[in-house]
Amino acid sequence: MKKPGDQRGNGVNNKVRATLWDVAQQAGVSPVTVSRAIRHPDMVSPALRKRVGEAVSSLHYIPNHLASALASTRTNIVGVIVPSLTNGVFDDFLARVQDVFEQSGIQVLVSNTRYSGAEEEKAIEIMLGYHPEAMIVIGVDQSPRVRQMLAGAGIPVVQAMDMTDDPIDLNVGFDHRSAAAAAVRFLHELGHRRIGHLTVSTDPRSERRLEGYIEAMTELGLTTAGLIAKSPNTTSVQRGAELFSEILAHDAGVTAIFACNDDLALGALFESQRRGINVPDELAIVGFNDLDFSGSTVPPLTTVSTERPKIAAWAAGAIVEIIRGSGKRPVERSVDLGFFIRTRGSTGGPRRAAKRPRP
């Protein structure tokens, strides 16, 4: 059995990880004092802090946070579950979440579900095993088992980036259906009647945008026949080019495209340029999310801008207030932070007849 200070080899690098006992022995104090010096340095003298710090440094000691959590019921961890680590939509969201939590000494653990319900269940089950003090999950379409796990965890849970009438705990986001409908009405007001839609079926929020598109087109008395191109695969710029080509094969007279995200919109823009279709004179394009590149395309991309940093700040701020502040939850359990259409150069009225041959 390993004794305090025992440095027998492990067969890999001939060393074992230093323990709290090792640090205590080298500093000449008790393990309780070492723990106090590390976790609450203001409670020990400067001289003692220095001695413990030197022992920690020389032994390369890494505190066991899980053991500390068992003793204090605090882990200083918040779990964040996202559907993708490659989709730029979540970059600024995660950055803002981390900014808020860092100010309160809280670490963020992120897990990626790859838009899979089964992966989400597994990720949340594993994450809860680390005893986080709160959880943020993207979306509101969790399975009954996930909802049960999160509701029974006894911690604050925020469902973000979408809206629901039945939140597990707290909910902040915006209405994707209404945002998509607003994009269609925007194009209609510019004079467009043949409005196509590019989408993917991997994301439930994209499904709601499709519903909003159909709802608005129906209300305006416009047909959607041959104007919806949908892929079962994940989104990409190349996918946008392929889906736009699919619509052109059915309806060469389309004058506007509303894409469910900026990646697909960029693909449609590139494909238009490849085919010699002038944007915006012959074709108007509207994206969704207002990603960083949207204002730098040629022409700049009109897009539905969403308040992702504000959503992230609200979610993280509410959690900090609950677990480090007053302990009170926000008065409103669900908060809709809205959206707006950022108009740029990729949209205008149908100023030139689009006389394009079918591919």
Encode pLDDT of 29-61 as tens digits.
Answer: 998 888 888 877 778 888 888 998 898 888 888
Give residue 298's pLDDT. 97
DSSP string, 138-161: ESS---HHHHHHHHTT-S-EEEES
Ordered by start, the domain boundaries in the chain are 1-63, 76-175+308-337, 176-306
CATH topology of domain 76-175+308-337: Rossmann fold (3.40.50)
The answer to whether 76-175+308-337 and 176-306 have equal CATH topology is: yes
pLDDT of residue 42: 78
Compute the half-sphere exposure of residue 180: CA atoms within 13 Å on the CB side of its CA: 27
Task: At 11, give phi and psi (nearest 5°).
Answer: 85, -5
What is the predicted pLDDT for the residue at 5?
Answer: 44
Q: pLDDT at position 8, please?
A: 43
**CATH architecture of the region 1-63:** Orthogonal Bundle (1.10)
**pLDDT 10s digits, 182-207:** 999 999 999 999 999 999 998 899 99
pLDDT of residue 179: 98
* Architecture of the domain defined by 176-306: 3-Layer(aba) Sandwich (3.40)
What is the Cα–Cα distance from 167 to 156, expressed in whole angstroms?
12
**How far is residue 245's CA from residue 264's CA, in Å, rounded to a whole number?**
12
Rounded Cα gap, residues 148 and 344, in angstroms: 44
Q: How far apart are CA 198 and CA 241, in angstroms?
A: 10
Q: Report the b/e string of 273-308 with b at 16+ CB within 10 A.
A: eeeebebbebbbbbbbbbbeebeebeebbbbbbbbb
Q: What does the pLDDT read at residue 36?
A: 82
Rounded Cα–Cα distance for residues 3 and 296 (Å): 62
Parts of the chain with a pLDDT under 70: 1-15, 64-73, 352-359
pLDDT at res. 4? 46
How many residues appear in the chain? 359
Q: Are 156 and 134 in contact (CB under 8 A)?
A: yes
**Residue-level pLDDT at 154:** 93
The confidence score (pLDDT) of residue 81 equals 98
